[in-house]
Structure 1
């Protein structure tokens, strides 16, 4: 559903947010969309296991684990960082995934960087012959197909569609399904110079742009300014933002509105891609750094 942002913006600009985070309590937002057709494909291929990759606070890891429990499929998570094997109980994301039945392999960061190489994938297929392997973040052609279903006919009224960008799957789906008079703006949360090429190869038009100034230092990087923004936004709107993806996009859009980036009377739709499960782990990090924490009732 779409929800109007109850904030007065300059130049008669109106902003709504599509609450993809409400699709499912655990398989939420773009993860629900990305997994939909991949799970159907795994079932068609009679695969018994979903195997995928992610970091310590990965929304994708949590969503795959929850999906496996829901659909009766075994799940395996290849986790970046061998030191985490001793910290599962202190990590809300990994604890949740384990409680859903996911089994883990903890790889060194050096090995993890090679996860997409043919040699590493071959060894995984040999070790887990019944596995359906999903890439980190879940982005592939079937994931993009699922994300093409985010927009509906009712969304044709918007001039701009805005979303956070990680691996490029969600924005690619939005671009492909956007209406001819709309522009899609992506806000990368990672410093990846190849993202533009990845999106260009997966999309069917050029009505889009990546705005790369709002990553706050890189993936999962956060500071007191962003925490304050998240808390202030929640107090004003009653909408919870996650610190890794959606909050950075919303921060960027609000900043651009105030800098007159958008034309007067623009109608903007923000895509809330979920990821709220990671807030508890992020708050643990913030406490350790003696930074303010995110207001969150999990």
Structure 2
């Protein structure tokens, strides 16, 4: 277990609670909605971000690294979480940000929080950003090391084999609680581990996961999820699928319809879902219910990642 210095916030509190959200729109179809409140485990290291980071932080420390380097877009929750983890656990952090034009603009709230936690932001054009992510290429690795020195690499979104192993705990916590588990997908690492964690339970084969990609054309994530599962667990694990209809135009994009849905959900349940991830997933659940995709009696657990 990695522990913070005594002067900082305590470690996240796990397992996260499961709360029932009674909603007449689902009740009349015989569907129970449960909320897996991963957003409540820590004020800064919420939900799947902590689950994906924890084993990577241990690996960095075991290898003697004192700097974390990772990648993200302008509104990346992963950059923000990595910066917070660096501050809490004593790592320097470097964030390579997609879009060199952003360097001349005021920082948005996500990047401002990352910078406030000490992250060194390096803005790069989109072509270079794509090339930098190919860290398995020796030439790229050498270029990054020459520019930034010695560091422990975290991939974009934090999704690697260690992250998937960490997210398997999320599946274990949900064993037996639901028939269908849903999660929003950015890079697929959370779903990869979640499905594997469910797969080893007594209900293996009966519990399934639906992932809702928040990127336009997110069906490509299926290959990434399978690759992550093979790296982390040796083979594909669990019963899972993707529904890529509810991206609302792409990452960090929204619409009046989604905004109205999120506000209505907040009024009914006291939880305002973030528009980048959680609102899109919840919208997808209600749309699938309207389409009669869930038989009466189905328990649906929605992972609230924060």
> What TM-score range do you get, normalising by the shorter chain?
0.7 to 0.9
After superposition, give the CA deviation of every residue in 1:114-153 in whole Å (9 maximum; x if it has no partner): 1223233321123333200111100000000110111345
Pair 1:145–1:205, CA change in 2 (3 A): closer
Structure 2 residue corresponding to 1:111, chosen from 128, 135, 141? 128
How much does 1:202 deviate?
Answer: 3.0
Tell me the residue number matched to 2:212. 187
Q: Which runs of 5+ in 2 are unaligned?
A: 1-16, 230-235
**Secondary structure of the structure 2 residue equivalent to 1:149:** helix
Q: Paired residue for 1:70?
A: 88
* Structure 1 equivalent of residue 167 of structure 2: 147
Q: Secondary structure at the match of 1:194?
A: helix
Between stretches 6-15 and 261-270, larger displacement belongs to 6-15
Please, what TM-score do these two structures have when normalized by structure 2? 0.86
The aligned counterpart of 2:38 is 20
CA–CA distance in structure 2, aligned partners of residues 153 and 100 of structure 1: 31
Is 2:19–2:35's contact at 8 Å kept on the other side of the alignment? Answer: yes
Q: 1:28–1:273: 8 Å Cα contact kept in structure 2? A: yes
CA distance in 2, matches of 1:94, 1:198: 26
| Match among 199, 206, 213 for residue 225 of structure 2 | 199
Q: Distance in 2 between matches of 1:83 and 1:153?
A: 42
Q: Aligned to 2:176, what secondary structure does the other structure show?
A: helix
Give me the whole-angstrom Cα distance separating, in 1, the residues matched to 2:149 and 2:114.
22
Residues 20 and 29 of structure 1 are in contact (CA less than 8 Å); yes or no, is this contact kept in structure 2? yes
Bigger CA drift: 124-133 or 44-53? 124-133
Equivalent residue, structure 1, for 2:100: 82
> Which residue of the other structure, out of 222, 245, 250, is the alignment partner of 1:213?
245
| TM-score (ref. length: structure 1) | 0.88
Q: CA RMSD in A?
A: 1.4
Q: What is the distance in 2 between the residues matched to 1:202 and 1:42?
A: 19
User: Partner of 2:13 in structure 1?
Assistant: none
Aligned residue number for residue 249 of structure 1? 281
Question: Aligned partners of 2:169, 2:155: CA distance in 1, in Å?
Answer: 21
The Cα of 1:87 is off from its aligned counterpart by 2.3
1:244–1:256 distance in 2 versus 1, CA, 3 Å: same
| Distance of aligned partners of 1:249 and 1:264 in 2 relative to their CA distance in 1, 3 Å threshold | same
Q: Which residue of 1 aligns with 2:297?
A: 265
Q: Do the aligned partners of residues 266 and 58 (structure 1) sit closer, same or farther apart at CA in structure 2, a change above 3 Å counting?
A: same
C-alpha contact (below 8 Å) 1:88/1:94 kept by paired residues: no
Distance 1:164 1:58 in 2: 14
- Partner residue in 2 for 1:2: 18
Q: Which has the higher contact order (CA 8 A, sep 6+)?
A: 1
Deviation at 1:159, TM superposition (A): 0.6
